[in-house]
Amino acid sequence: MRIFWVSVLLFLFLPFGLVSEARAFLPEKPTVLGIDFCRIYGSVYFERDPRRQSGSHFTIFEETEEAFANLVVYKEDNKLFADQPGLWYETKNRDFADYIIFISPNRNKADFGVHFTTIRSFAGCKN
């Protein structure tokens, strides 16, 4: 009975625009934490402990082939050169990282797939 009254109230308030304004806050493109994974660069800490997955920004799956990856990443040796999307500097300390990324062994639990390349010019987003 309660569902009936809620639907009646929603129907009554639709002409006034009260319900339609709530849709303005929803993002058009689904992203993780509001951050597009194509714009990730800088220092990254790789988390491999499943108990600490909830504290990570993203969950990735390491693809063996570049064709199946959403993002091609080049690991920089210097943090100053990791200044474009797809260029990551791996930190050993979790506190100094810009992004904390969990590496999942299951593809279906990952937010996106990553392939690590040895050629810097190949790095970037494939979407």
pLDDT tens digit string along 16-39?
555 445 455 544 444 555 668 888
Q: Cα 71–81–127 angle (5° rounding)?
A: 15
Cα 34 from Cα 67, distance rounded (Å): 26
| pLDDT in the model for residue 29 | 43
The pTM for the full model equals 0.70
